[in-house]
Every structure is written in C-alpha cells, then in structure tokens.
Amino acid sequence: MNDPVIVTGLRDGPLDVVSLIKQIWRTDCGAVVTFEGTTRSPSEGRDVERLEYEAYEERASTQLRALAGEAVERFGLGGVVAVHRIGVVPVGEPSVVVACAAAHRGEAFEGARWLIDRIKADAAIWKKEIFAGGERWVGVDG
C-alpha cells in the first residue's frame, strides 16, 4: 500500500464532503466509509436554530492530526479525513466529516467509528446549541 493520505483541520464555513472524500480515494483501497455529523433539530425536545462551535484552534488541529495518524496505524488505513467545522452551523449542515479508506470494509468501518468517538471525546472543540429564547453548551462539565 502507498503512503497514507491524511486530511485534517478546522474550517470556518461549509464542509464540502465530496471534495474531502475525493482527496483520500485510492485505487489500492476498496472501501471508503464516511461519517457526517450534522446539526439536528429538535434536540432534547427543543427546536434548535443553529449550533456554534468554538475551538482552541492550535490544539484541536494538532489533536485531529494525531488522532488521524493513530487511526492509520491501528486499522491499516490508506486514507483518513478528520475535518471539523467551527463557528455557526445551521440545521442540516455537517459539523464534522470523518472518512476512512482501507483495502477492506471492516478496517474502514472500525477506523471511522473509532475516529469519530475519539474526536468527540478528546478534541478541544466545544458545541453550543442555540434555541428560541435560550442556549446551552453540550458536553461541558461545570
């Protein structure tokens, strides 16, 4: 297998999912698994107007790159996308795109699941839900 292709980063604007996936497409990988995390409404019974993401950008960028590299090593991936949006994300638009290319589907599925779980748990990125008449930070203790 050729050297892995790794595409990571933070974007302040819409994510072009097709373009991101094309960057990791390879002839030696028979499987590409993609996960798009999109803004949904309602959430916990309240209508969401939008999400707002904030990040410690330098740290989050480094973390995304490290996690993508670890996914390559753990699952034998040929390509990885780990891109997260910051700023305002309207309902229905993707906030995060994870894609894994591998020779076989098992590794691609396992890698994508592991990677999105690690990003949500470890990356210095925080989400705020905005409702009519209110807002709340999601997953922030305290």
How distant, in Å, are the alpha carbons of 29, 60, 90, 118, 121 from that of 86? Answer: 30, 11, 12, 18, 17
Q: Tell me the pTM.
A: 0.94
pLDDT digits (tens, 9 = 90+) for 47-96: 999 999 999 999 999 999 999 999 999 999 999 999 999 999 999 999 99
Cα gap 25→92, rounded to integer Å:
25
As a whole-number percent, the residues of the chain with pLDDT over 70 amount to 98
Cα gap 92→45, rounded to integer Å:
17
Domain boundaries, the chain: 5-138
- Residue 101: strand pairing partners: 32, 79
Second CATH level (architecture) for the domain 5-138: Alpha-Beta Complex (3.90)
Cα gap 131→71, rounded to integer Å:
35
pLDDT of residue 1: 66
